[in-house]
Structure formats: structure tokens, C-alpha cells
């Protein structure tokens, strides 16, 4: 019987490296990061979030700059969304946040549009200018309702 210890060790190291790579990719896809960039927390209150979920992307000009951390109910019964963005971003205080959909039936995410003010948002500040999610089912219901009202007038 020949001694295949070297080959066995190489195969074992390859398997361990493969499992480590798969674990790393799974954690990255899950939204976890390992000591990534410094972030700051920003808040926004929306009338309708339309299925926005924690860990949804936050983008500026299509580039991911953060993610949604938590969603709760504010004192005024609006959805309060807390999201983390890269602290190197200098977001003017008149910036706006919109909940948009990727594609027709895709996932929801927050899109930030930069304002032009000289004052910059700080960690823990609120974005005052928001645009809530458009709920497709509600639009279809309104269209059908309006069509029924128009046809009953004839």
C-alpha cells in the first residue's frame, strides 16, 4: 500500500478552502459584512412602505450605499424606517428618500435623491422629504373603481 498522505492533505485543504469560500459568499449575500465601512443611521417616515424589508438596499444613482436596518411604527402611525448609509456620504438636509421597485414586480428598495443645501445630515437625523411606495394592487383597484363609476353614469 502506497503512502498518499501528501495528496490527502492537499484534498483536505481544498475542501476546507471551498467550504470557507461558500460560507463567506452566503454571509455576504445575506447582508452581513466583516468590519466594512463606517456607517451612519438615518431615519425616514413613510405613509406606505409596500413590502419594504430589513436589509433592503439603499441606493444613490443606482449605486448601493447602505441597507435598511429596521422598520417600525412611529408615534403618528406612519412607518419609521431606519437605514444605515456609508458615513463618507455627505447627504444634504434637503435630500429625499423614495421607496421604489426593481422592475415591475421586483423587490423594494430605498432610493436617495441628493438635495442642494449646504447643511449635511448627521448620524441620527431624519430625512423630511419622502415618497412612499406605490402599491400596484391599490392602483388597479382605483382604476377598476373609477371605471365602474364612469360606466354607471351612462
Model confidence pLDDT, tens digit, residues 85-144: 998 888 999 999 999 888 767 788 999 999 888 898 888 888 999 888 777 777 788 788
Grid cell of 5 as nine digits: 498522505
- Give bridge partners of residue 57 from the DSSP assignment: 67
Write the CA distances from 132 to 38, 96, 129, 135, integer angstroms: 28, 11, 10, 9
Grid cell of 33 as nine digits: 459584512
Q: Residue 126's CB: how many other CB atoms inside 10 A?
A: 13
pTM over 0.85? The answer is no
Q: What is the length of the chain?
A: 154
Closest CA to 61 of 42, 31, 32, 89: 89
Roughly how many angstroms between the first and final C-alpha of the chain, as a whole number? 95
Model confidence pLDDT, tens digit, residues 52-69: 899 899 999 989 999 999
Amino acid at each position: 500500500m502506497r503512502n498518499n498522505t501528501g495528496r490527502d492533505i492537499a484534498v483536505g485543504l481544498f475542501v476546507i478552502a471551498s467550504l470557507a469560500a461558500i460560507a463567506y459568499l452566503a454571509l455576504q449575500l445575506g447582508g452581513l459584512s466583516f468590519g466594512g465601512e463606517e456607517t451612519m443611521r438615518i431615519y425616514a417616515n413613510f405613509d406606505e412602505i409596500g413590502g419594504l424589508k430589513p436589509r433592503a438596499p439603499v441606493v444613490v444613482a443606482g449605486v448601493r450605499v447602505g441597507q435598511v436596518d429596521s422598520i417600525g411604527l412611529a408615534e403618528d402611525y406612519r412607518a419609521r424606517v431606519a437605514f444605515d448609509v456609508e458615513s463618507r456620504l455627505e447627504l444634504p438636509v434637503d435630500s429625499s428618500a423614495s421607496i421604489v421597485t426593481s422592475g415591475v414586480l421586483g423587490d423594494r428598495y430605498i432610493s436617495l435623491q441628493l438635495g442642494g443645501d449646504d447643511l449635511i445630515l448627521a448620524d441620527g437625523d431624519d430625512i423630511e422629504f419622502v415618497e412612499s411606495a406605490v402599491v400596484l394592487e391599490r392602483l388597479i383597484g382605483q382604476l377598476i373603481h373609477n371605471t365602474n363609476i364612469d360606466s354607471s353614469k351612462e
